[in-house]
Structure 1
Amino acid sequence: MSIQQALAGASAKPTGKRPRFLESWEAERALAVAMSLAGELVVTRQRLDTLERLLAAKGIVSRAEIDSFAPSKAEAAERGLWNQEFLARVLRVVQQEAEAISALDDTSENIAEELAR
């Protein structure tokens, strides 16, 4: 999977209008980012805890070994791709707002054509 495909999938746009609960769009955006991060963190923490407990209980890997692990270059590259996908998911609301603004933004060519009519 290419990085473009991964980012496109991570920032898929839902249909319908985004619900609004707070007075300002800035507060809504900050809340959406924070809630996205919270959701990601909860799932990750639960899975990490499960793995660490299973590995330690079976005597396969201790938590100290996990803490001292250093990834290879390939593993670091894989983590880097995951990090980019993660940020795309977390900042999806900001990206979608930017896309909506750019869709409404007239280019100088469009303005010139309209003025010429």
Structure 2
Amino acid sequence: MTEDLDWIARAGLKAKGKRPQYLDPEDDRVLSILMALVGEVSVLRERLDTVERLLDSKGTLSREDIENYEPDIETGRERNLVIREYIARVMRGVQQDMEALAELEPPIEDVVKEMEAR
């Protein structure tokens, strides 16, 4: 059934409703492109890890071996850590900006106390 789907056409479909905008339109578009690339690189890294593990264990591989590979729990944990570290590196600048903004804003409790004192 999935063989009949046009995945390229489906990838270009727009979601219903207004897309949330967090930054100015140009930066939002660049961030969207970046995150799509991060996803693609993540898939490639996982697939390469599969190839390497199959070569280590069997010394040879086929496309079928790659497609049917199922990682064990430990491999899943290793991959999870690798992807989390990767995303943290990619998003480091955004994270630092968020932390800087948080430092500029006083805790809500302080704001409430100040308003009550007025």
Q: Indicate the TM-score class for this superposition, using the shorter chain for normalisation.
A: 0.3 to 0.5
Q: Which has the higher relative contact order, 1 or 2, with Cα contacts under 8 A spaced 6 or more apart?
A: 1
